[in-house]
């Protein structure tokens, strides 16, 4: 596989080409033979269909006022607006065919997930097609908003803005009606200067040898020149300010200017805090780029231990899907976990199954050398078991969800077999459900899930006899919150009573490593007690960067992956590839290896380093007798070198001196991001500081395992020279 990097000049042209010039409308929604994909709340049923009026294709929004108090829908793919100081949303509508609509609202969603709306009051007596103009200004106040956390809700459109959907108020609250719309476009009337960092790659990865490509790019899409004054502060991979660059440049209209940046000397993620003004406004933005030697993509399936990831790629437009696949392949990921979303393949009982999305999706990742692990669940409404009743009818989860229902097992098994048969030879691992011990994902008794496991196993094998059948990914060893589960020992009960109906035990265990590893030890004890001989796989486990920061998140990835591997796991799948949004207080917006807008986080380079250093390695032993909280292991690299990872689970613990002996050859120390430096060995003894940050010692030229001691002496705050 060939990596394609672009020079800064080419990327500058690409950036300008993607920004509409001032006054030129960007079409967001264009009617055609099919209506745009939209979703409706369960309490607000409605219809969105394709139609034709006045010799034009149209979007027809229909409703029955007897079934809903108002009409509302959201675009399944929120439609991004270009960056703007001021702009106009242009909405075509056909008044002669509109019935029983009093007014409607256009809804927008910002970077933080905050939703706001603007009321539109058309002239319903107009003839023919009309264009409505909705004015928008950056940071203008709205009367109300919803959707973001309390800390992020400010009733202003912050950051990247997207078209969310619309709502319609009825003239007659008992009759049916319809609203006929045409194209929806956005025209920038006052453009803002934007800044980005160029590395030659769209994921902002700077590879060794491409250092001259590193630059800040200022893009001015307006027709008038702008003078930029400001400064950029460089933040090193461990969060320490590492220099400042003063900015002063002229950017002609409709052009991009680059400002070269000093090349980094060590691998890691570098932050760039940029503040600049152009006479129109003062802006601030945090950028980042990763300096690393990419671990991938590598051809073919992963061998041995599976370096995996979770992602929600299908939710996004094609270009974002492509970028996610590139990002995953580049940092050495070899497997991605998807949901085999039945409702997308077959939305109604009489609809033919359409696998086109999965065909494209699998191909997209396979081009990057990444195979797919499939999790089943999320059944369509028509395939729910008619006898299902919620185990806990009072349960309410995220978004007031009642939890997922139990499927008709005959229909479920048929879909599983069909899916696995279609992708035989491409899908090796099939998971029966996601987190079946949580009511949020399985609001039915544990006994029903055991029945599902026993139906799932033969259904998978019928479609693909070579596939490995996984249990659903259980969240934790025992369930401590009875209001969130159908059984406190859900996992143990399923493993025992569905024995023989799974090949792999899937486990999650989100959170800190200090909470995770005792559960892994308990999992091993459970296997011993039940006499199980099946492998285990933590196929969705991570920690959000909230409260701990992105550096500690990267350290947790290092710890949990290597601990799992050393304790017999066949793979590890971090959750997840990309932040779901920009809210600093929302966990789902802070789990990713990269940000929502494709900037790398520290965990991205840490993953790349793990995939580079440990690919095809073999775990040999865990070191015992170390102080509480300190853990160390021994792996053998593919080239025969010994790899000795270690860390302290207590971030505030003092630095210790690690004694390693005997060391027969050379030794190097590798940090969290893959920076490798020689260390001194004296008479076969290696003394090295071990602190809160994980590290790896590489010992070349020996096969015998050294001993490790770290209770000789606590390292002083200052070492005398």
Q: Measured in whole angstroms, how far is the alpha carbon of residue 493 from the centre of its chain? A: 32
Burial class (CB in 10 A: 0-12, 13-18, 19+), 532: middle
Nearest to 279 by CA among 315, 229, 331, 332: 229
pLDDT tens profile 13-24? 444 444 555 668
Instruction: Convert the pLDDT of each residue in 600-634 to its tens digit.
Output: 999 999 999 999 999 999 999 999 988 888 899 99
- Is residue 717's pLDDT more than 60? no
Average pLDDT of span 142-157: 85
In this predicted structure, the answer to whether residue 684 has a pLDDT above a threshold of 90 is: yes
Using one digit for the tens of pLDDT, what is the confidence trace for 183-211?
Answer: 999 999 988 899 999 999 999 999 999 99
What mean pLDDT do residues 576-604 have? 93
pLDDT > 70 fraction of the chain, expressed in percent and rounded? 95
Contact 157, 108 (CB under 8 A): yes
Handedness of CA 149, 151, 157, 162 (dihedral sign): negative
Start-to-end CA distance of the chain, whole Å, equals 49
Buried/exposed code over 668-703 (b: 16+ C-beta within 10 A; e: otherwise): ebbbbbbbeeebebeeeebbbebebbbbbbbbeebe
Beta strand 129-137 with 176-190 is unpaired
pLDDT per residue as tens digits for the range 532-572? 999 999 999 999 999 999 999 999 999 999 999 999 999 99
pLDDT of 466 above 50: yes
99-113, 144-158, 451-465, 533-547: range with lowest mean pLDDT: 144-158
Query: How is 366-393 classified by DSSP, letter by letter?
Result: HTTT-EEEEE-----GGGB-TT---SST
pLDDT value at residue 629: 83
Segment 135-149 shows an average pLDDT of 88
Backbone angles phi, psi at 387, to 5 degrees: -90, 0
pLDDT score recorded for residue 112: 82
Q: What is the C-alpha to C-alpha distance for residues 365 and 372, in angstroms, rounded to an integer? A: 8
Q: If you average pLDDT over residues 704-718, what whole number do you get?
A: 68
CA distances from 516 to 244, 530, 632, 648 (A): 40, 21, 16, 14
Across all residues in the chain, what is the average pLDDT?
91
Identify the pLDDT of residue 2: 41
Nearest to 406, CA basis, from 435, 448, 437, 438: 448
Nearest to 228 by CA among 265, 280, 181, 184: 280
| pLDDT greater at residue 150 or residue 461 | 461
pLDDT in tens, 341-390: 998 899 899 999 999 999 999 999 999 999 999 999 889 999 999 999 99
Dist CA 301 CA 312 (whole Å): 21
Buried-state track 581-598, b at ≥16 Cβ within 10 A, e below 16? bbbeebebbbbbbbbbeb
- R_g over Cα of the chain: 28
Residues facing residue 58 across a β-bridge? 51
- Residue 20: per-residue pLDDT: 56
The tokens 């991605």 sit on which residue? 336
Residue 652 clears pLDDT 90, i.e. is over it = no
Alpha-carbon gap, residue 78 to 164, rounded angstroms = 5
The torsion of the CA quartet 242, 246, 247, 248, rounded to 10 degrees, works out to -170
- 400 pLDDT band, cuts 50/70/90, is low
Stretch among 333-337, 475-479, 633-637 having the lowest mean pLDDT: 475-479
Alpha-carbon span 612 to 558, nearest angstrom: 13
pLDDT at residue 718 tops 50: no
DSSP per residue, 234-277 = EE-TTS-EEEEEEEEEEE-TTEEEEEE-PPPSS-EEEEEEEEEE
Distances (CA, A) of 248 to 252, 258, 261, 482: 13, 11, 14, 61
Tokens of 506: 């899937």
pLDDT reported for residue 626: 87
Which range among 28-42, 163-177, 363-377, 387-401 has the greatest average pLDDT? 363-377
pLDDT on residue 594 = 98
What pLDDT is attached to residue 668? 97
pLDDT-based confidence at 111, cuts 50/70/90? confident
Residues 31, 143: contact at Cβ < 8 Å? no
- Residue pair 709/624 in contact (Cβ under 8 Å)? The answer is no
3-class SS of residue 191 = coil
DSSP 8-state class, residue 493: H
Measuring CA to CA, which residue among 721, 720, 719, 710 is closest to residue 653? 710
b/e for 318-356, b at 16 or more Cβ within 10 A? eebbbbbbbbbbbbbbbbbbbbbbbebbbeeeeeeeebe
Task: From 90, 97, 89, select the one nearest 52 (Cα to Cα).
Answer: 97
The pLDDT, as a whole number, for residue 720 is 42
Indicate if the pLDDT at residue 9 is higher than 70.
no
pLDDT value of position 441: 95
Ranges assigned E (strand) in 81-204: 86-94, 101-109, 115-120, 129-137, 162-170, 176-190, 194-198
Tokens describing residue 203: 């994921």
What pLDDT, on a 0 to 100 scale, did the predictor assign at position 22? 61
pLDDT at residue 503 in the model: 98
pLDDT of residue 399: 60
3-state helix, strand, coil in the chain (%, to 5): 20, 35, 45
In the structure, what pLDDT confidence band is assigned to residue 715 with cuts at 50, 70 and 90? very low
Span 45-92, pLDDT tens digits: 899 999 999 989 999 999 999 889 999 999 887 888 988 889 999 999
pLDDT at residue 665 in the model: 93
Partners of 431 in beta bridges: 375, 470
| The pLDDT of residue 488 is above 60 | yes
Neighbouring-strand partners of residue 190: 86
């Amino acid at each position: 596989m060939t990596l394609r990097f672009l020079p800064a000049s080419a990327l500058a042209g690409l950036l300008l080409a993607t920004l509409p010039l001032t006054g030129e409308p960007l079409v967001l929604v264009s009617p055609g033979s099919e209506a745009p994909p939209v979703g409706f709340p369960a309490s607000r049923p409605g219809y969105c269909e394709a139609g034709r009026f006045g010799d034009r294709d149209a979007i027809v929004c229909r409703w029955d006022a007897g079934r809903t108090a108002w009409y509302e829908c959201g675009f399944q793919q929120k439609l991004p607006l270009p960056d703007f100081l001021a702009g106009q949303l242009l909405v075509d509508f056909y008044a002669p065919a509109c019935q029983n609509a009093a007014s409607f609202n256009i809804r927008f969603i910002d970077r933080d997930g905050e939703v706001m709306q603007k009321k539109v009051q058309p002239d319903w007596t107009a003839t023919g097609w009309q264009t409505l103009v909705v004015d928008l200004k950056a940071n203008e106040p709205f009367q109300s908003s919803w959707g973001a956390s309390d800390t992020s809700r400010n009733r202003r459109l912050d950051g990247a803005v997207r078209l969310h959907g619309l709502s319609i108020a009825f003239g007659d609250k008992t009759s049916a009606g319809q609203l006929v719309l045409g194209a929806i476009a956005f025209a920038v009337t006052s453009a803002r200067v934007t800044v980005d960092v160029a590395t030659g790659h769209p994921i902002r990865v700077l590879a060794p040898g491409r250092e001259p490509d590193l630059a800040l790019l200022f893009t001015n899409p307006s027709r008038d020149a702008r003078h930029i004054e400001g400064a950029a502060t460089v933040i090193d991979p461990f969060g320490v300010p590492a220099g400042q660059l003063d900015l002063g440049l002229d950017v002609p209209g409709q052009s991009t200017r680059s400002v070269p940046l000093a090349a980094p000397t060590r691998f890691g993620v570098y932050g760039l805090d940029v503040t600049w003004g152009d006479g129109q406004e003062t802006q601030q933005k945090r950028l980042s780029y990763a300096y690393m030697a990419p671990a991938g993509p590598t051809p073919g399936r992963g061998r041995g231990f599976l370096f995996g990831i979770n992602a929600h790629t299908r939710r996004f437009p094609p270009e974002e899907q492509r970028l996610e696949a590139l990002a995953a392949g580049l940092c050495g990921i070899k497997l991605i976990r998807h949901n085999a979303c039945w409702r997308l393949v077959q939305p109604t009982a009489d609809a033919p199954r359409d696998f086109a999305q999965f065909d494209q999706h699998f191909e997209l990742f396979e081009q990057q050398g990444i195979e797919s692990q499939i999790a089943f669940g999320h059944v369509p409404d028509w395939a729910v078991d008619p006898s299902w009743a919620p185990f806990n009818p009072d349960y309410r989860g995220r978004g007031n969800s009642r939890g997922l229902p139990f499927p008709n097992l005959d229909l479920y098994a048929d879909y599983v077999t069909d899916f696995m048969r279609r992708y035989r030879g491409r899908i090796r691992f099939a998971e029966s459900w996601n987190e079946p011990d949580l009511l949020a994902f399985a609001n039915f008794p544990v006994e029903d899930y055991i029945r599902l496991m026993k139906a799932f196993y033969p259904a998978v094998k019928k479609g693909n006899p070579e596939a490995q059948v996984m249990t659903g990914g259980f969240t934790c060893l025992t369930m401590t919150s009875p209001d969130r589960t159908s059984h406190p020992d859900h996992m143990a009960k399923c493993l025992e009573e569905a024995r023989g109906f799974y090949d792999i035990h899937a486990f999650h265990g989100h959170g800190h490593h200090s909470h995770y590893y005792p559960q892994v030890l308990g999992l091993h004890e459970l296997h011993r007690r039940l006499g199980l001989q099946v492998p285990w796989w933590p196929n969705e486990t991570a920690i959000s960067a909230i409260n701990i920061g992105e550096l500690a998140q990267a350290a947790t990835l290092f710890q949990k992956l290597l601990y799992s591997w050393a304790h017999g796991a066949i793979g590890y799948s971090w959750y997840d590839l990309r932040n779901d949004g920009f809210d600093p207080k929302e966990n789902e917006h802070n789990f990713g290896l990269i940000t929502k807008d494709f900037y790398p986080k520290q965990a991205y380079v840490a993953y790349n380093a793990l995939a580079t250093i440990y690919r095809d390695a073999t775990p040999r032993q865990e070191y015992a007798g170390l102080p509480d909280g300190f853990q160390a292991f021994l792996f053998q690299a593919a080239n025969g070198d010994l790899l000795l990872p270690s860390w302290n689970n207590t971030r505030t613990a003092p630095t210790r001196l690690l004694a390693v002996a005997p060391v027969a050859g050379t030794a190097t120390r590798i940090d969290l991001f893959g920076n490798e430096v020689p260390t001194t060995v004296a008479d076969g003894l290696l003394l090295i500081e071990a602190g809160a940050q994980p590290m790896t010692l590489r010992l070349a030229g020996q096969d015998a395992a050294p001993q490790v001691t770290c209770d000789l002496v606590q390292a002083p705050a200052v070492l005398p020279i």
